[in-house]
Structure formats: C-alpha cells, structure tokens
Amino acid sequence: VLLGRSPLPRPEPEWLASAEDEAAVRKAILKNEFSGNHVSPMQLQETFRKCMANREITRNLDQLKMTGATVLYYSADVRDAERMNSVLDEVRSAHGPVKAIIHGAGMLEDRLIIDKTPEQFERVFDTKVKGLSVLLEATKHDDLRYIVLFSSVSARMGNKGQVDYAMANEVLNKVAQQECVMRPNCRVTSINWGPWDGGMVSPALKREFERKGIELIPEDQGASCMLYEMMGDKSCPVEIVIGAGSAIGAWSGSRGERTEDSPQPLGKDKLSLTFKRELDVDRYPILGAHILGGRPVVPFALMTEWLGHGALHENPGLFLHGLDDIRLLSGIKLTDEKKLVRLLAGKARKKGAVYEVDVEIRNGMKDGKEVIHLRAKAILTDTLAQAPLFSMSEDITSQAYFRSIDEVYEKILFHGIELRGIKEILSCSSCGMVAKVSSAPSPEKWMADPLRSNWIGDPLVLDSAFQMAIIWCFEEKGVVSLPGYGASYRQYQNRFPSEGVTAVLEIRETAEHKMKGDFTFLDPDNNVVAQLIGYEAVMDASLFKAFKP
C-alpha cells in the first residue's frame, strides 16, 4: 500500500508516450496542452512537473506489479488525520491489519533562518513530524512488526538553509527511540540517510555535499541497505547513519557499500523562472520617489538587488559575492497599469572557488522577442573574500563642495524624500567625489511583501552612489546622467553597516556622452564593504527634461 500527495495516476496521452528526454516532453506539452500559444515558464514548469510525477508513479507501480505483488496507491496527505484513518480502515477491511510502516514523506523549503517564514518552517517540519504522529495514532491498535523512518544525516551534521528539515529529522530519531522501548516485538529503525542520487537532492544540495566530501547513494544500494537494517533484531541500534562514501560510512558503521559515483560539475543551463511580480506604486511605494519624465521608474539599484535574490534563490547557504557584466538593456517604466516583471536565473556553475549564475529581469514579449530589462552574471561563494586595502587619492579630496544637500536635491537630482540617501558631500573635484550616504531602511518600508526580510546588498547606498555620479556630471560637464552598466560589483560583508557608509567615486574616463568610474564603499573604520568597478553612466543634456519636467 503506497500513500502519496500526488493524484491517482492516469493513462498517459499518446502524444506524450514517446517523449523521453526533458526537452521532448516540454515541446510536446507546449504543442498539445497549450496548442502552441504563449505560456509563462511557471505554467510550463508546473505542467511538466505534474506529467513527470504521473509518469514516475505509473512506472513504479507497474514495476512492483511485475514482481507479483498486489499494489495499491492512495492519494493522501500524511498530515491529514481524517484522510489517513479513512484510507487505513479501507485497507484493513480488504487486506487485514497493518504490519509495517515506512515513513518516507518529506519536503524542502531551503532558506537561511533569517529568510525563512513560519509557514515555510511548518510545511517542512509538519510533513515529517506531524505526519509520523498521524501514522502512529492511526495504527495504535495494529500489531506493527516494522517501523522504518526516513531521517537524514542533516539531523546529525546540519545543512545550510535546512534548520527545519534537520530539526524534523532529529525528532524522528528520538520518536524512534521511544517507540522501540514501547514496542518490544517491533523492529524500529530511523535511518539517517546521506544524500541519494535522486529524489529530494537538488543541485544546490549536491554542491553542498560535494563540498563536504560526501558521495551520493545509488538508489539500488539504498534500498538494499534498508532491507538489511530491517533484518536486524532488538539488539541492533535504532538510529542508523547510511552514506555512500567513507566519510559517513566509517563514522557511522554504515552497512552501505562505497560507490565511486561522485557529483558532476554543474553545467550551464537555460534560465528558469525564480519569481514574478506585478509592480505599481501602491505595492511598491518607493517607486513614487523615483519619477522620471513624469512616470515611476524602477531604480537600477533595486533591480540589482533582485538579481542577487534570483541567484541565491536556488543556492541556500551561499553568499552573494558580486555581480559581473551588469547591463541595463531597457528601463522599467510604469504606466497607469500594473507592470509584470519576471526574474530568471540559470544553474550555478563552479568556477574555481566561486559559483556563477546567469540572471535576467524580463517583461513579456515585444515584436516576437523577450523584453530583457537587466542581465548580469552573479558570483556566489560559501565564504566571503577578504576585502582589499583602499587608499583615497588626495586629488579626489582636494576640493570641498559648495552646495548644500537641500540645494542638490532641489536643483540637480530628481529623487524623492525616501531616496535622498546622500547625507553630506565631503569633496568634489575633476578626479572624483566623496560623500557620506545612508543605508536603506528594512525592505518592508519600501514595498509590500518583500522577497526577503533583509537586503542582500543595499539599494539606497547604490542609488546614492549613482546620484553622486549625476552630481559630478552636472558640476564638471554641465549635464546629468543615468546608470547603464557595471563591469564588476564585489561585496565583502554580509550586510552594509546600519549607520551608513562613505562612498568614494573615482573618475576613470569621460567621453561626450559617457562617464566611467569606480565606486568604493567604506564602513566607519574605513574597511571596504563593497566596490563597483567599471561603472558607466550615460550623460546627456536631454535628460534635464526627464529630471525636472
């Protein structure tokens, strides 16, 4: 008797039966399910997931039946006590009392603690812990001979982004110990599995296990190990750790055999949808402080923050070290209607000590092509690099600035109160500029339903830096500017200081319509927090009209 949340399997349509590889399945779905019409990546992925789940269940049931076994599948959520009681009553009526439980339900919502919501925690924790409680209650009158719980090595060693999963598995371990004492005639075992080569082990988890030197368990060997543990008696330990590699096997006394199959390096894949958002000033009031040409425009600095989120979304436990080749292709300007934007990210690719992830912000189709607003290559790492030393040039600090901050925002800049991050301009010369700038308030101050409870970088610091570039262009060239490109952004601290930073702009090159420079952001102790190298701004007198319509 198999229980799962997936619906009862249905016969696979003829148009899908011959498609085996992922690309062929997706192509068939587009042609037959959506009749070739435009469909969002999220819709396609959800349909693909359902089709593959249906196929996997069907094939697994067929393989079991080929052994001569009678196989029953019920669609049920293990947390639903009423449904579980109903299913088990039906099973008992037809086949007699329940003799064994193998509890393998689980799910992941990988996030660092600071980014994990209570609802995400409960889904992960309850699937294992509440699910087990429901099963034990529903079978309390059955004379069980076996209870096998699928725990995880994360209960012993932990995993970044998996505090809920680790806690749930450790609860399973302790419940198993208790059940073993209470059930003298039942073989109770809680198997702390290492990572299997399939199932719930995502590419991000494979990468983390690879970093720790932990190999993956082949599916056939994992099944054999479980059967071997079930053959034990009451003298055998309740909690077992089973892994494919010697790191876990030697430590735990695992009966699993060592395998030479190791995770393969991550390769470059197509981009997939990370999130989508409808933008308007009601949900994103910060946009009301960034008006150009009479219309709200999403700040370049805020878009780079979204790129960082997109890169980290499928890579819990890593940090954003930077962004390379940050290219603004088309600004996001709001009209009277809501603006739908989508953030897409590729798979992480190992490159030396870091990981690279392609990220893009898109918005629908125009003339048959995707509208790409911003693209970059994110640089992720599990340990932040040491910050470089920085020495400020005397040429940059040689001239004091003569305008007050109020005058700057009234006469030169277009930014509303919420984005007026420059607190004091310390100097401004032909070589560059130095200013004290504020850090951004918490994300919920700027928008409803933020992606994270804390900023990855600091969009107000970055936007203030771009404002410094505007001021420099105005004072030195008589025009204003807008950001267009950044060659390399690097961040050396997890968070920007709450008290703000000192921003240093060093001018590298100017042309008729372009300014190139580097930004360095210093904390109160003059340590480098972050740097933006190869910043390019577009300068043009025509922008005055958009700034002050």
Q: DSSP letters of 365-434?
A: EETTEEEEEEEEEEEEESSPPPPPP----TTTSSS---S-HHHHHHHT----GGG--EEEEEEEETTEEE
Higher pLDDT, 129 or 363: 129
Does 260 have pLDDT greater than 50? no
The Cα–Cα gap between 211 and 108 comes to 20
Best CA proximity match to 190, nearest among 151, 224, 146, 132: 151
Give the domains, in start order, of the chain with CATH numbers: 1-75 (no CATH), 76-264 (3.40.50.720), 272-547 (3.10.129.110)
> pLDDT tens digit string along 447-489?
998 888 899 999 999 999 999 999 999 999 999 999 999 999 9
Best CA proximity match to 298, nearest among 503, 483, 542, 537: 483
Q: Which of 17-31, 53-67, 326-340: highest mean pLDDT?
A: 326-340
**Token representation of residue 549:** 């319509």
pLDDT at position 316, please? 77
When pLDDT is averaged across residues 223-231 and rounded to a whole number, the result is 82
Tell me how far the alpha carbon of residue 358 is from its chain's centroid.
13
Number of C-beta neighbours around residue 6 at 10 A: 13
Helix (H, G, I), strand (E, B) or coil at 143: coil
Does 129 have pLDDT greater than 80? yes
pTM tops 0.85 = no
Does 366 have pLDDT greater than 90? no
Best CA proximity match to 313, nearest among 159, 203, 155: 203
Best CA proximity match to 106, nearest among 230, 188, 191: 191
pLDDT at position 47, please? 87
When pLDDT is averaged across residues 66-89 and rounded to a whole number, the result is 89
Q: Helix (H) and strand (E) counts for the chain?
A: 14, 20
Does 246 have pLDDT greater than 60? no
pLDDT > 90 fraction of the chain, expressed in percent and rounded: 54
When pLDDT is averaged across residues 271-285 and rounded to a whole number, the result is 90
Does 498 have pLDDT greater than 60? yes
> pLDDT tens digit string along 134-156?
999 999 999 999 999 999 888 88
**Token representation of residue 251:** 């430590």
Does 253 have pLDDT greater than 50? no
Q: Which of 101-115, 129-143, 232-246: highest mean pLDDT?
A: 129-143
pLDDT at position 534, please? 96
The stretches of 492-549 forming alpha helices (DSSP H) are 543-547
The Cα–Cα gap between 430 and 477 comes to 10
Number of C-beta neighbours around residue 197 at 10 A: 18
Helix (H, G, I), strand (E, B) or coil at 520: strand
Tell me how far the alpha carbon of residue 446 is from its chain's centroid.
21
Residue 296 · residue 288 · CB < 8 Å: yes
Does 252 have pLDDT greater than 60? no
In sequence order, the 6+-apart residues with CB closer than 8 A to the CB of 204 are 110, 314, 315, 316, 317, 318, 348
> pLDDT tens digit string along 350-359?
898 899 999 9
Does 491 have pLDDT greater than 70? yes
Does 205 have pLDDT greater than 70? no
**Token representation of residue 97:** 């009392």
